[in-house]
Each structure stands twice: as C-alpha cells, then as structure tokens.
Amino acid sequence: MLTREDFQQAIEDSVARYPAVGALYRARDPRILQHLDAMATMLAMYSGQLETAQAEPFEKTRDATVLADASMRGLVPKSQPARVSVRLHNASGAAFAASPGRSMVDASGRPFRVETPVDAAPGDTVTFEAVQLHEKAATHTVQESRAFYAIELEMADDDSWLCGLHVTDVEGAYSHRERYTNTLAGERIYHVEADEQQRVYVRFGQEGVVGVQPDEGLALTLTTFYSLGRIEDFSPGSPMAFETMQDPAEAQLEMTLQEVLSSGENPPSMRTLRELAKYPSVYNHNAVFLGEFDFLVRRHFPSLQFLSVWNEGEEERHRGMSVDNINALFVACLSSTGSESVLSQAPGQSTSPDELGDADLTATQRAIRDKIHAADDSYRVRFYTPVRAPLPVTIAATVATSYDEGVVREQIRQVMLDEFGEQADQSRRGNTTPLYQQVYQLLRQQVPALSVGRADLRVTIDEGDDSRPELWRYVSPESLEVGVTAGNVNVPFWGSGF
C-alpha cells in the first residue's frame, strides 16, 4: 500500500520540472503545499481502500461485505422469542378457559402470548406455556402482477426484532418454503429474504414456473411477530396477568412465572455474521453435509457457548464401530445459560463424555434436535456432554529494556485470552486449537514491544494426542504461562563503539 509520504515524495521529485512552482514549494508556501498535501492524503486513502478491497473476498473485514454475504446466504435478522411456563391458580367460583393466542404481560410489562390451551376448574392449579412476542397485522394490495413479487416488511420501532410471519389472502394462508425448494408451480408458498441493508422482504413465485404469482389488486394480509430476543432477567415467581380482562371473575386468577423454558435468541450479531461468512456460500438451509448441520445449529442458536457436531465416521475414529452409530449425528453443546452438564479434563488425562438420554435433555438441546430433524428427519441425534480441556500454552518473550516487563506480560496474556479464551469465537468449536503462525502473527500485531528491534518470541502449545470432537479446547488464565525478559535487543549501528 502506498502511503501519504510516498505520494509526497513523488510530488517533490516532480517539482524540479516546474521552476516557478519549485521555488514556492521549496519556500514551503502554504498556497502550494495545501493542494499537494490534500491530493497526497486523498490518494493515500484511496490506496488503502484498494489494499483492503484486494483482500476483502478472503478476510471480509468490512461490515458491508459481511452483510452482503449474509444476504446471499439467506440469513434473515430474525430473533427467537423466550418461552416460559406459567402457573395459574383459579381462586374464583367459575371455571376458566383460555385459548392459544391470548395476550399477557409480565411484571416488567413485556408482552406474552398463550401457547397452550388453559382449562382450570374452580380451585384448580394448572400450568401452561407462554411465548414472549407481540404481533402486528398489515394489509398490502398488489400493485402489479409480476414474477417474484416482493413486499418489504415493516421493522419494529422499539427494541424488538422480527421473529415470525403469517401471510393470508381471501383464499386462506400461504406456506413458507425456503428458497422455493421442492416447490411446484401453483403451490401457495412464499419465501423470506433479506438484502445487504438487512431489510426483510416476502417474495412470491412465478406463474407456471414455481409457486404462485399474485394478481394485481389482490389484498394480502401480513401478520408479523416481534420479540425482544434474549432475556436474562426473568424472575421465577414474579406475577403475570392477561393484557385485557374478559370476565370479572378473572380478577381472582393468580398467575406467576413458574419456569423459564428458553431465554430466547437475538439476531446474529455482526461478529457472528463475520464468523458465519467463512462457511461455503452455496449453503441453502437444507442440511446434507456435516458442515451444514453445524452451520444450521449456529445460525439458529448464535449465543451457544460451545457447539460441536460430528458424524458417524468421526465418532468411530475415536470410540470404535457400533451399529448404534448408523445414520446418527452427535452433538455436544453448552447454552449461554450454562444449564447443560459439562465435564472437565486435566492436562495429560482423558475424561470420557456422558451420553444423554431424552429425559436428560435441556430445552436448548431439544430445540437443537428439532431444528436438525426439520432439516433432515432421517438422522438420529445423540447428545454428549462437552469436556472442558484447557490448552496449556507457554510463551517466552524477550523485549527491549525500554519496555516494562510486567506491562508486556499483561498485554500478551490479554491478547491470548481475548482471541483464544473461553469466550472467543474460535474456541466455541469442538477440539479447535490455535495455529502457531496465527499466534505469532497476532502477538506481533497486537503487542508493540514484540515488533521492535531484535525482540524474540517463542510459543509452545501442548496439543497432546487427544482429538476427540467433544473436547472444548481454549486458553484459560491457569493454562497460560507467559515469561518476559528484558534485554539489549537494539540493532547495532555504525559508530556504536565510540
């Protein structure tokens, strides 16, 4: 990349051809220098843009590139609503019944909707499920009958995100079909997509080719559902109530939040999208290969602390062949709430994971299983407990005496824990260890003392021979040893002996 100084040097070299301007330039006349400096600055900025653009297809450092890549893959900024179970005690003298869809609010004023039917006789105590969302209905009149007609969805004007959609017309409801997969001409389906600006659209089909093409003047009703995404501050035992009272006897209903079934999920963050951009661009949400099942789960559960998905071949490489492994997928995960059991493994030891039965699965694990079955219900999904296996890393550095050893040591530790620690994106995959070249390059870029003079750096990563897919490998504060020595690392110069 050409810098501002490079362009200024080129300007200075060319001034000799213009004697009149050269005299003013050598006198540092601001009337001349301002224009030349401005041009050199703009060209340097343009040079930096070109340098970034050359590596952008591989690095994807710009947010615009990541969003465009997400749009190409069909990643929609969609949240998942939280789900709770509600305890209802009917203290009135009349029977009470409520159907799914009735609106509720919790103690914080957040909207909920009843998900399972409620039927409580006088004096009964029952439990039902509720989901945290609210809906908004809008009518759209088709302006022109054209192929793949699209309607932009209205985004929420508060802190909530889109989480669902229902499309109907005078003939009934439409079905959602991902990218028109296995869709015949005439089928009443729609597809949901997002553009590079994260605007969400509903797109219909083409007459005689795929799906249906809406006629001009047709009135479509679009019911959009919005949720607050991930909610961490639920309090079991807090009161809940229906948004509107339909009968005076409902004043004697006592409702409390009993259990949090799922805390919900926010739409993928920019950091998550940048990580997902490393996957093959041909992914079409219909998982067939192993990498796609891993991507499928990460796309719907971006807040997982750890996830590893492997197939029969990987399983039998480590635990031998078994007929139980035929047509099976294996999953080890830990949700953001940490409700799943996790084992620990000390360096030099080997801890075997526990296989979980259906009764032992948490709400997150059951939801992951349902997502995999929705993509391909021919697989049997088996869950294992993740095994924490902190990665022993030793770093020995030599820096110039002008640097404080303690400060450099803390800088190295902070960089390693941020990039390869328990919460780092790279560490959230099964049995993933950092590469030596990755560590060396990162430390030299992030720690200035390691890129000065003849500063030296040695890194040792004790990976061991254990490569099981359920291992959660990360650099912990206890497994990281950093030693920094200050010495004369300056480059010798001519005349230093005088």
**Backbone phi, psi, residue 182, to 5°:** 55, 45
238 and 102 both lie in a single domain = yes
Q: What is the pLDDT of residue 157?
A: 74
pLDDT of residue 73 exceeding 50:
yes
313 and 380 both lie in a single domain = yes
Place of tokens 């139980």: 324
The mean pLDDT value for 367-376 works out to 87
For residue 376, what are the contacts with CB-CB under 8 A and spacing of at least 6?
286, 287, 288
pLDDT of residue 57 exceeding 80:
no
Q: Is the pTM of this model over 0.85?
A: no
Tell me the pLDDT band of 285, cut-offs 50, 70 and 90.
low
Q: What is the pLDDT of residue 396?
A: 93
Q: Contact at 8 Å (CB) between 150 and 167?
A: no
Q: Contact at 8 Å (CB) between 295 and 268?
A: no
Query: How many folded domains does the chain comprise?
Result: 5
Tell me the pLDDT band of 278, cut-offs 50, 70 and 90.
low
The mean pLDDT value for 277-302 works out to 65
236 and 113 both lie in a single domain = yes
345 and 357 both lie in a single domain = yes
The mean pLDDT value for 15-24 works out to 80
Question: What are the tokens at 40?
Answer: 């050199």
60-74, 172-186, 401-415, range with the lowest pLDDT = 60-74
Instruction: Tell me the pLDDT tens digit for each residue of 308-345.
Output: 999 898 899 888 888 888 989 999 999 887 888 999 98
Tell me the pLDDT band of 279, cut-offs 50, 70 and 90.
low
Answer yes or no: is 463 within a domain: yes
382 and 397 both lie in a single domain = no
174 and 148 both lie in a single domain = yes
CA distances from 46 to 9, 16, 180 (A): 17, 26, 42
Tell me the pLDDT band of 489, cut-offs 50, 70 and 90.
low
pLDDT of residue 291 exceeding 70:
no
237 and 96 both lie in a single domain = yes
Domain of 439? 393-487
Answer yes or no: is 75 within a domain: no
Stretch (H or E) spanning 55: helix 30-59
237 and 115 both lie in a single domain = yes
Q: What is the pLDDT of residue 498?
A: 45
Q: Where are the beta strands (DSSP E) in 266-379?
A: 306-310, 328-334, 343-344, 355-356
Tell me the pLDDT band of 188, cut-offs 50, 70 and 90.
very high
355 and 423 both lie in a single domain = no
pLDDT of residue 450 exceeding 90:
no
382 and 296 both lie in a single domain = yes
Answer yes or no: is 128 within a domain: yes
Rounded Cα gap, residues 326 and 175, in angstroms: 33
Q: What is the pLDDT of residue 414?
A: 93
Answer yes or no: is 116 within a domain: yes
Q: What is the pLDDT of residue 221?
A: 94
Q: What is the pLDDT of residue 36?
A: 87
Tell me the pLDDT band of 250, cut-offs 50, 70 and 90.
confident
399 and 454 both lie in a single domain = yes
Tell me the pLDDT band of 494, cut-offs 50, 70 and 90.
low
Q: What is the pLDDT of residue 274?
A: 76
Q: What is the pLDDT of residue 369?
A: 92
pLDDT of residue 282 exceeding 50:
no
Tell me the pLDDT band of 18, cut-offs 50, 70 and 90.
confident
Place of tokens 């590893």: 308
What is the sign of the dihedral through the CA atoms of 215, 211, 169 and 139? negative
Rounded Cα gap, residues 74 and 269, in angstroms: 15
pLDDT of residue 281 exceeding 50:
no
Question: What are the tokens at 226?
Answer: 């919005």
Q: Contact at 8 Å (CB) between 66 and 115?
A: no
Q: Which strand ranges, in their side-by-side order, compose the sheet holding 456-461?
A: 456-461, 393-400, 480-487
Q: What is the pLDDT of residue 456?
A: 87
pLDDT of residue 269 exceeding 60:
yes
Answer yes or no: is 49 within a domain: yes
Q: Report the mean per-residue pLDDT for the chain.
A: 85
Answer yes or no: is 327 within a domain: yes
Answer yes or no: is 278 within a domain: no
382 and 401 both lie in a single domain = no
Tell me the pLDDT band of 55, cut-offs 50, 70 and 90.
low
Answer yes or no: is 193 within a domain: yes
Q: What is the pLDDT of residue 331?
A: 94
Instruction: Tell me the pLDDT tens digit for each residue of 372-395.
Output: 888 888 889 999 999 999 999 999
Q: What is the pLDDT of residue 58?
A: 59
Q: What is the pLDDT of residue 283?
A: 43
The mean pLDDT value for 400-405 works out to 84
Q: What angle do CA 116, 122, 124 make, to 5 degrees?
A: 55
Rounded Cα gap, residues 254 and 90, in angstroms: 7
